Structure 1
């Protein structure tokens, strides 16, 4: 929780009283790799901060799973559209590695919004972070080649990207695992 408190102190200058209330709503959960945090068709009830681990978001389909997001430690993760609307998710949220999350349920977040001076700022920051990641991904799919998308992903988190199976990376950048192998061979 100290990592999260440090993050909030740096980003928001959170007061001790606001932190005390906010942190009282958080619950720590440990999940092994390959654990579904949210199944397709379920309602997302948590906004989570990743203390440690890697999480992926994907659309299951009959031709394989289409990975559209990776979230690393030090960031928020959620099926955020489902969380906001409290409607069933169209996709799956799953851990790739052993993961530690600090979770805040939907109702508790609403309480934080109304009872702290900094709650809305925290909610806005989490929303902005998730939105920016989504926009960056969409623009990359429209503007960059598969090789450029791979290199950007590798540049962003080289120490963690080694933990993501290549089939997930290939799906994320929109190519087959065989095409990714050719890209990796060409750039090495």
Structure 2
């Protein structure tokens, strides 16, 4: 739980009573590799902090899933649009490794927002960061070539390339695994 405290303190330090309330609402969950966190059609009820592991966001397809995001240790994960609207999700989130999460339910988070001094501020900053990540991804898909997206990924998240199957990376940058193989040969 100390990892969450450090993460939150970087955004805005919580006083002891606020942290005590927030921490009292957290549940620790251990998941196996390939476990679903959120399924298409289900309503996201948790905001989770990844203590250990890697997760993938994707849209299931008959032939090839469309991967659009990865998250690692010390990051929050949720199907955020489903979480804030309490409407069914249009995509899935699954673990790619054994994963340990600390999670808070939607209702408990609303209580934290209502009863703490810092909860709303931290929530707003996190929502703004999620928006910036999403905007950057969309602009990358619209303005850059697949090779440029791969190189950006290599520079920004080198761990990803070592820990994620290439078929998911190919889907993430918007190419087939064969096209990714050609890109990798060109740049090495």
TM bin, normalised by shorter chain, reads over 0.9
Following superposition, the deviation at residue 160 of structure 1 comes to 3.6
Q: Which residue of 2 is the match for residue 88 of structure 1?
A: 88
Q: Which residue of 1 is the match for residue 62 of structure 2?
A: 62
Matching of residue 118 in structure 1 with residue 118 in structure 2: yes
Q: Give the number of aligned pairs.
A: 188
Unaligned stretches of 5+ in structure 1?
none
After TM superposition, the structure 1 = structure 2 runs for residues 142-157 of structure 1, keeping only pairs within 5 Å, are 142-157=142-157
3-state SS, counterpart of residue 90 of structure 2: coil
State whether residues 44 and 83 of structure 1, in contact with CA within 8 Å, keep that contact through their aligned partners in structure 2: yes
Following superposition, the deviation at residue 63 of structure 1 comes to 2.9
Following superposition, the deviation at residue 40 of structure 1 comes to 0.5
How far apart, in 2, do the equivalents of 1:132 and 1:62 lie? 31
How far apart, in 1, do the equivalents of 2:184 and 2:79 lie? 31
Q: 1:152-186 CA deviation, whole Å, 9 max, x = no partner?
A: 11212212431100000000100000000111111
Q: Which residue of 1 is the match for residue 19 of structure 2?
A: 19
How far apart, in 2, do the equivalents of 1:154 and 1:100 lie? 25
State whether residues 45 and 106 of structure 1, in contact with CA within 8 Å, keep that contact through their aligned partners in structure 2: yes
Runs of 4+ in 1 over 6 A off after TM superposition: none
Q: 1:3-24 CA deviation, whole Å, 9 max, x = no partner?
A: 1111122220211111111111
Q: Normalising to structure 2: TM-score of the pair?
A: 0.96
How far apart, in 2, do the equivalents of 1:64 and 1:8 lie? 36
Matching of residue 130 in structure 1 with residue 130 in structure 2: yes
Matching of residue 50 in structure 1 with residue 50 in structure 2: yes
Unaligned stretches of 5+ in structure 2?
none
